[in-house]
Chain A
Amino acid sequence: MLKIKDLHVNVAGKEILKGLDLEINAGETHAIMGLNGAGKSTLANTIAGRDDYEVTKGTIEFMGQDMMEMEPHERVAAGLFLGFQYPVEIPGVSNLNFLRTALNSVRKLNGEDDMSAAEFMKLVREKATHLNMDPDMLKRFVNVGFSGGEKKRNEMVQMAVLNPKLAVLDETDSGLDIDALKTVAEGINVQRREDTAVLLITHYQRLLSYVQPDKVHVMIDGKIVKSGGKELALELEEKGYADVA
């Protein structure tokens, strides 16, 4: 599903990713762990196609397509979802309007008709309820006045509505209390299917107790230095990055 080969990325003229390789297949959940500054968020943002992340070498292939040729919104239509470490507040745009515009934009790019208002409301209410989100929050402006946990929950609602093939979740577990963590983990687990894949980017092992990965990668200084099974996460937690790597 996702094939990254020898990826080099500059941010503000400085090389952050220095030859990264990663392959994720349908049905798999991977976790990338690493310290601050290792380049984890750079990887997530590069996959999503953010400006200012300059790919100087290497390739990213998603669903058999060259991702470098695709605009950020086209990547979403192809089935990518990026869960933000810091979800953005958008005053004046309601959550519902945002979700509906997003969903219908994706449907349009995939040659489908708009979802009817009634069908959409039913879908969103169902997803929000499942993720313990107060339906009133759907009417509020996107992330404005939301707590850290509510913002992350909102990311999960967006993911559930857009139903991506590949979810890249950047530090989705940071800043969550244990109840919120469990809800978010539940949201991720629902998304794990035969035909989908998840890439968790995280600092800590904590989330991985609730979302058990098939593979764990250790990232240091812009490269993946070690890969293994889920036991690697525990080893990291115990011994620290320096010893494991």
Chain B
Amino acid sequence: MDDAVIQSYEKQAEALEGSVAGMDDLRAKAIKDFAAQGFPHVKAEDWRYSDLKTLRTKAFSPANHAGETPDIPKAFTDCAARFVFVNGRFSESRSDMGDLWQAASVRPLANHFMANPDRAAELVRGRDGVGMLNTALAKDGMVIAVPAGVEIDDPVEIIHIMTGADDCAAHSRHIVELGEGASVHIIERFIGDDSSYWTNSMLQARVTESAKLYHTRLQEEGANAIHTSKAYVNVGAGGQYHACNLSLGAKVGRFEAYVRLLSDESNATIDGVALAGTGQSHDTLTHISHTMPHTTSDQIFRTVADSRGKTSFQGKVTVDKDAQKVEADQSFKALVFDRTAEANAKPELEIFADDVKCSHGATVGDLDAKAIFYLTSRGIDPVTARQMLVEAFAAAALERIEIEPLRDALMARVGDWMAERKAKPIPENKSRVE
């Protein structure tokens, strides 16, 4: 990797000294680790489907506050609070604090460790260059702690907006802590203009006994963006992490979820839809660790790739030796619209217990020609027929979102995406399976 790139990031880390109480030591370690290994290469097994060439060859500067006020998108539904980050910086004036503060502790990352600097050591450091750089350069984010027994009914929205940020990056770190029996729904949205920016976001969460974290993500970055984000979640007894990700934007997009099921009856449900237009790459990596007996996980992923689009799914499930009676299901289905579209599936099961039920399935193909003819033979034009079939295909991975207006909004995105494809005739049936 280019030394100048590493030096630039070292300088950026140095400049952040003292910006977040308690984080200096962590930052110093993280930037050292980053300098030693740089950004992951496509030759690294986990990164074979996402090429970070752009990041390796030029350093992205810290994004500054935008001069102009970008439009804040309308909420999908009533929210307990809406937190807006512009170019990686928390914008209090554009946020709506709602009444969340009455029920939960909410504060920016910068103040979080002030009282207990030692707790900064609990921050996830990241095991690759992208994660390490997030640890080294994050200075903003939301810390939301919901006390035991408190259920936040309306979702909390975190909106990341990037604007006028050519060659700039935003590294944000959000922390969610749920006390026993607490619950919250976090909606994360990522939007931006056409500048060539990099969003590098991380959310880490602790879901304790019987708590529930719902996490719905909508990635609609600008067309020239790079998007990398990671979720690290630990789930206690009877707790649940319920995530759904819809990836639409960015040139290169990647979402990773690392979930550790740490006690009896804990569950991870992770669904996702990725729609890749021409020249786009969407990569999803999940790793669910079943460390204890009677833990369950369920994943449904559906992706669609148009001409020269690429979608990838790497789903790893590990079951420890004593984690008996585990149930883990994983389903990945991809549509490719022609021979230049690409879909990659890499399910990985590492099972060391002997009494478990684990399943995975992966298919790649085009839309069913018989189904298209059936719809057209009832008077539906071929473009609408295709749209209906793609919506139905994606619905399987979106229907577990419990908030109806949110689910409908995401479904509508899928329909809109297909509608945009009308202009181009879709070449004949061809598919390829790796």
| Interface residue ranges, A against B (CB under 8 Å) | 48, 50-51, 71-73, 76-77, 82, 84, 87-88, 90-93, 97-98, 101-103, 105-106, 109, 141, 158, 162
Range for the number of chain B residues in contact with chain A: 20 to 34
B380 engages A90 (CB within 8 Å) = no
A158 engages B378 (CB within 8 Å) = yes
State A109–B391 Cα separation when bound (angstroms): 23
**A–B complex contacts, Cβ < 8 Å, 25 sampled:** A50-B373, A50-B377, A51-B369, A71-B381, A71-B382, A72-B377, A73-B378, A73-B382, A76-B377, A76-B379, A84-B377, A88-B368, A88-B370, A90-B371, A90-B375, A91-B396, A92-B395, A93-B388, A93-B389, A97-B388, A102-B378, A102-B379, A105-B378, A105-B381, A106-B379
A77 engages B379 (CB within 8 Å) = yes
- With an 8 A cutoff between CB atoms, is B12 at the interface? no
Q: Which among A48, A84, A90, A158 is the interface contact of B389 at CB below 8 angstroms?
A: A90
Query: What does DSSP make chain B's interface, helix, strand, loop or mixed?
Result: helix
Distance in angstroms from A143 CB to nearest chain B CB is: 9
Between B369, B370, B375, the greatest number of chain A beta carbons within 10 A of the residue's beta carbon is seen for B375
A103: B residues at CB distance < 8 A: 379
Distance in angstroms from B12 CB to nearest chain A CB is: 47
B388: A residues at CB distance < 8 A: 93, 97-98, 101
- Known pairs A90-B371, A92-B392; A48 contacts B379 (CB<8 A): no
Given contacts A76-B376, A88-B374, A92-B391, 7 further A-B contacts (CB under 8 A): A50-B373, A71-B376, A73-B380, A73-B381, A84-B374, A93-B392, A102-B378
Between B376, B378, B389, the greatest number of chain A beta carbons within 10 A of the residue's beta carbon is seen for B378
State A174–B357 Cα separation when bound (angstroms): 41
Distance in angstroms from B331 CB to nearest chain A CB is: 13
State A48–B379 Cα separation when bound (angstroms): 11
A109 engages B374 (CB within 8 Å) = no
A72: B residues at CB distance < 8 A: 373, 376-377
A105 engages B380 (CB within 8 Å) = yes
State A103–B380 Cα separation when bound (angstroms): 8
A51: B residues at CB distance < 8 A: 369, 373
Distance in angstroms from B270 CB to nearest chain A CB is: 20
Distance in angstroms from B187 CB to nearest chain A CB is: 24
State A93–B388 Cα separation when bound (angstroms): 7
Between A87, A102, A106, the greatest number of chain B beta carbons within 10 A of the residue's beta carbon is seen for A102
- With an 8 A cutoff between CB atoms, is B301 at the interface? no
State A48–B373 Cα separation when bound (angstroms): 9
- With an 8 A cutoff between CB atoms, is B393 at the interface? yes
Q: Which among B377, B384, B393 is the interface contact of A92 at CB below 8 angstroms?
A: B393
A73 engages B392 (CB within 8 Å) = no
State A12–B358 Cα separation when bound (angstroms): 42
State A118–B392 Cα separation when bound (angstroms): 24
A91 engages B392 (CB within 8 Å) = yes
B371 engages A88 (CB within 8 Å) = yes
B379: A residues at CB distance < 8 A: 73, 76-77, 102-103, 105-106, 109, 162
A92: B residues at CB distance < 8 A: 389, 391-393, 395-396
Closest A residue, CB atoms, query B380:
A105
* 5 closest Cβ pairs, A-B complex: A92-B392, A76-B379, A102-B378, A106-B379, A88-B374
State A98–B380 Cα separation when bound (angstroms): 9
State A56–B165 Cα separation when bound (angstroms): 59
B391: A residues at CB distance < 8 A: 92
B374: A residues at CB distance < 8 A: 84, 87-88, 90
A162: B residues at CB distance < 8 A: 378-379
State A58–B320 Cα separation when bound (angstroms): 69
